[in-house]
A and B are shown apart, each in its own frame.
Chain A
Amino acid sequence: MSMHAPLTVTGGRLVLPEGKPQTGGLRCEGRRIVALGDVTPQDGDQVINAKGALIAPGIVDLGVFAIDKPAFHFGGITRAALMPDQSLVLDKPAAVRFAAQSGKPDLWVHPLAAATRGLEGSELAELALMRDAGAKAVATGRRWIADSGAMHRLLSYCAMLGLVVIAHAEDAGLTGSAVATAGEMATRLGLPSAPAAAEALAVARDLALAELTGARLHFRQVTTAASLDLVRQAKARGIAVTAGITPAHFMLSDIATSDFRTFSRLSPPLRSEADRQAVLAALADGTIDVIASGHDPRGPEDKRLPFADAEPGMAGAETLLPLTLGLIRDGVIDLARAFQLLAGNPAALLGVEAGVLGVGKEADLVLIDPDKPWLVDSGQMAATAGNTPFDKLPVQGRALRVFKGGVEVGK
């Protein structure tokens, strides 16, 4: 079917689901991987010499707020799960279908269906119709569903449909209009703040409802020690729950807000250093399953404002890979686990046959120089806006070439 010649990549180091990278290559035909390891190109193949680079599964970015192809390409992201919080909310099949097409031909966009109409948190949206229009999971959006009755109905319905529910965990009653985590930093800056326990409260409720309904629940971001403990205990009890994080919450604490820099205004807000350490421990012990970018490019009209008036969010697609590779250098995780967090687990969560290198899997690949040094510069980003809290941070690791379905992207 494919108009493109089969692809053979040689001379690389394969990032496999287990163990250390293995010297070798792979061969793709008809969008899929057909051979792995010691491969020989066949006549008519396009042959690429990886020259020792890592051959890794393309990153599956779970929960982005904008489709930003240049940034995803820069960051080695081949699939992006799009949050329903769009100007036209993804709460109808037509909107989902349109969003699912929007990445073609060089990016997979997997729309996440809005759990409730208009993301208002009360009435269920047409979830089955949206599933059949291409929605890969259901998300509550940027906000928590405050009504426990509505959340209960949502989880039981999604359990029936076999859809994962991706929840935002912050008790809205406790959070109010807060823009920071209660603590000395917020007090010094005079910023409206809420206790970190707002997250644990929301996690505890949703875990109880997930246990009750048997629904498959994923928390997009779990950022505090108390809520990570809850997730850890729930997993031990056998509840089908997973947890995600973005690099901001394992790299930064609320100290980063000290100069009122709005690029550090995130949702949930940055936490204390003790919570950041708990996140690192949870990455190491397997409590956290997914690292995503939370990519949310925001221009000056949203960010060049006083801290509390600015919109939350950061452009994270470009820094996702190097900051996750940094965890390997810091001895928190190994390379195989890094790609489970970046690709394998999110792909499984979305039910797509990608995210790992294996025969029969979709040939979404990225060639990576894991040591290449570069400087994050908010003035020169590939993303549509440069709102990164990591401006001027020296990092290591860069995607060299990206392939979707065995075809190079961005050529």
Chain B
Amino acid sequence: MDDLLQEIEAFCARNGLSETRFGELALRDKPFVSQLRTGRDLRASTALRLRQFMAEYGVNPPVSAALPNADRYPAGSAAFPHRHLTGVAGLAPWEILFLLDEAEQWVDLNRSASKRDDRLRGLTIINAFFENSTRTLLSFEIAGKRLGADVVNMHAAQSSVKKGETLIDTAMTLNAMRADAMVIRHASSGAVQLIADKVDCPVLNAGDGQHEHPTQGLLDALTIRRAKGDFGKLTITICGDILHSRVARSNIHCLTTLGADVRVCAPPALMPTGIEGMKVTPYSDFDAALDGADVVMMLRLQQERMSGQFIPSPREYRHLYGLTLERLAKAKPDALVMHPGPMNRGIEIDSNVADLAGRSAITTQVEMGVAIRMACLDVLTRKARGLEGWA
């Protein structure tokens, strides 16, 4: 029996489990390990069960048991009954909360020493980026690798897209290579949906044109929840180029669905028509929009997306819409400052605001990004991995 005890101790150390947690997961018997150490009787069948549990643990971890609030969602795949993640629009509040809760465990893992989990071992994830990206691509790549998947990146710049191959042909080619999940970014709104309708594996939208960037919306929600708690009491101001921003759209869907009061602020040329229909209050006066805000989310001035002149100059834009320390004082004293990056320091946000200790959540957003993407990759591949309740 000492052999088994040693095995269990080594297993717990390897997987970062306490002995009571091990007992709970394996046998629903928290004091089991300590009792075993003090000479508890052990049947051969129980020993077999324990060895089986340990052998299967990395391959098929008991996910729902790991989730702290498992009782808040429907069981199994009903908690997130979608094949793809093409947008936040249309997700129910509990589906968003489920993804946020799933991500919490990965925040913890990413902060630990080992940073490894093997649940996606053997799966191939293709990151197909038809538009340049550094941080989102890196974030998805790290997320996939920390879960043990084989991650392959395809950049449009070095692909046959340049040779005139259509988007669907490219997607079907990737599909034929039997990807287990695809992460797609494209410059045209709706492009990811188009691919999702054609391929056999789950598709994650990493940004399509000016439509949606769902993982950004989710990671921002996670950042806000960890800092501020209940969304129902929060006023969140999103300021910048709303017209061209998919980040703004995903955040609007996400935060309004979770019950926050969302304000959007932009000069008229950068404010889309009919935005009130998305349950937000539009402002053109930044000071008024900041008044009493709990969270201030600045967007990047996307000069590369602008055809024609939308603002007279970056200097004038900063004059009206730059987040300075003086302006930030109009928001609540503990207001959180966010920016999806990359920042134009000195235009939409001043350096001393971006680097304000205790207030700026900009690097936290990046950290939450990896955790959210791990959660999304895990959840969307559960069906293919045949998890109980998801297959």
B300 at the interface (CB under 8 A from A): no
Among A191, A195, A301, A304, point to the contact of B189 (Cβ < 8 A). A191
Distance, CA A207 to CA B307, complexed state (A):
30
Residue A183 at the chain B interface, CB threshold 8 Å: yes
Complex CA distance for A189 and B277, rounded to whole angstroms? 13
**Are A187's CB and B274's CB within 8 A?**
yes
Q: Within B263-281, which residues are at the interface with A (CB < 8 Å)?
A: 272-275, 277-278
Instruction: Given A188-B249, A307-B188, A308-B209, answer yes or no on A195-B194 (Cβ-Cβ < 8 Å).
Output: no
Are A186 and B167 in touch, CB under 8 angstroms? Answer: no
Which residues of B are found within 8 Å of A195, using beta-carbon distances? Answer: 273
Question: A192 to B189, alpha carbons, bound, how many Å?
Answer: 9
Question: Given A306-B186, A306-B191, A176 and B168 touching (CB < 8 A)?
Answer: no
B188 engages A309 (CB within 8 Å): yes
Contact of A260 among B166, B193, B246, B277 (CB under 8 A): B193
Contact (Cβ within 8 A) A306 B272: no
Inter-chain CA distance A193–B272, complex, in Å, is: 9
Q: Are A187 and B167 also in contact (CB < 8 A) when A176-B308, A260-B193, A308-B188 are?
A: no
In the bound complex, residues from chain A placing their C-beta under 8 Å from that of B272 are: 182, 186-187, 193
CA distance A190 to B252 in the complex (A): 13
The chain B residue with its CB closest to the CB of A182 is B273
Of B89, B168, B193, which contacts A188 at CB under 8 A? B89
A176-B307, A304-B166, A305-B167 given as contacts; is B190 within 8 A of A184 (CB)? no
A275-310 at interface with B (beta carbon < 8 Å): 301, 304-309
Contact residues of A between 149 and 195, Cβ < 8 Å to B: 176-177, 182-193, 195
Across the interface, do B308 and A307 meet the contact criterion of CB distance under 8 Å? no
Partner of B190, one of A183, A187, A307: A307
Q: Is B84's beta carbon under 8 Å from chain A?
A: no
- Residues on A with C-beta less than 8 A from B190 are 189, 191, 260, 306-308
B382 at the A interface (CB under 8 A): no
Q: Which residues in window 57-82 of B have CB below 8 A to A? A: none
Residue A259 is within 8 A (CB to CB) of chain B in the complex = yes
Indicate if the CB atoms of B212 and A190 lie closer than 8 Å.
yes
Per-position binary interface string of chain A over residues 186-230, scored 1 when its CB falls under 8 Å from any chain B CB and 0 otherwise: 111111110100000000000000000000000000000000000
Decide yes or no whether B210 CB sits under 8 A from chain A.
yes
CA separation between A284 and B180, bound complex, in Å?
56
**B145 proximity list for chain A (CB < 8 A):** none
User: B209 contacts A306, CB within 8 Å?
Assistant: yes
A190 touches B210 (CB 8 A): yes
The reply to whether the CB of B185 lies closer than 8 angstroms to some CB of chain A is no
Residue of B nearest to A194 (CB): B273
Residues of B within 8 A of A304 (CB): 166, 168, 194
B146 partner residues in chain A, CB cutoff 8 A: none
The residue from B211, B277, B307 contacting A190, defined by CB atoms under 8 A apart? B211
B residues near A259, Cβ cutoff 8 Å: 193
Which residue of A has the minimal Cβ distance to B246? Answer: A190
Task: List the 4 closest A-B pairs by CB distance, nearest first.
Answer: A260-B190, A184-B274, A306-B188, A190-B210
Q: A184-B278, A187-B277, A191-B210 are in contact. List 20 more A-B contacts (CB 8 A).
A: A176-B308, A182-B273, A184-B275, A186-B273, A187-B272, A187-B273, A187-B278, A188-B249, A188-B277, A189-B190, A191-B190, A191-B209, A195-B273, A304-B168, A304-B194, A305-B166, A306-B167, A306-B191, A306-B208, A309-B188
Q: Which residues of B contact A (CB under 8 A)?
A: 89, 166-168, 186, 188-191, 193-194, 208-212, 246, 249, 272-275, 277-278, 307-308
Q: List 10 A-B contacts (CB under 8 A).
A: A187-B278, A188-B277, A191-B190, A191-B209, A191-B210, A193-B272, A260-B193, A260-B194, A306-B167, A308-B188
